Amino acid sequence: MSKLQDFIDSLEDFELGAFYKYRFESFMKGSQDKILKELEKRNISIDSIDSLIDKNSKLDSEVENKYCPRCYSKHFYLASEKDYITIKYETVEINNNFKTCLVCLYSQDKANYKKEKRKAWNIFGALRVISKRKN
C-alpha cells in the first residue's frame, strides 16, 4: 500500500473532504484517482464536502491549538522555512518552524508570523524616518 493510501485511510470523512477541497489539484492523475475512489467508497459527494467540514468543526476555546482552524483536522507537521529580513544594508536570516496542517496545508503559526512581520516592517520604517529627522 502507498503512503498516500495509508494517509487517506487514516482520515476521518470530514478530513478526507477537506483534503479533496484544498489539495486535490496538486496531485498527479493516479493520486487523484485514489482520492476519488476513497470518496466514492465512503459515499461522500463532492457537493457535500463544505457542509461536512462545517458540521465537524470541533474548535472550542480549550482545545483551539489541537485543531486546524481551516479544516479542523488534528494532523500536523512542522514545516521549516528560512526568511530574510533586510534592514538598510544588512540582511538577517531567520529560521522558522511552522505548525502546518497535513490535510489542507494551512498554518496559523505562519499567518501570525506574517502579521507580526508586517508590523515590524512598519516599526523599522518609522525608526528610519525618525533617525533621518534627527540628523
Residue 106 has pLDDT above 60, yes or no: yes
What is residue 11's DSSP assignment?
Answer: S
Residue with cell 501570525: 112
pTM: 0.76
Cα–Cα dist 91/84, whole Å: 6
Say what percent of the chain tops pLDDT 90. Answer: 50
What is residue 64's DSSP assignment?
Answer: G
- What are the CA-CA distances from residue 60 to residues 48, 49, 56 (Å)? 24, 21, 12
Q: What is the pLDDT of residues 47-86, one digit of tens each?
A: 999 988 888 776 554 566 788 989 999 999 999 988 877 7
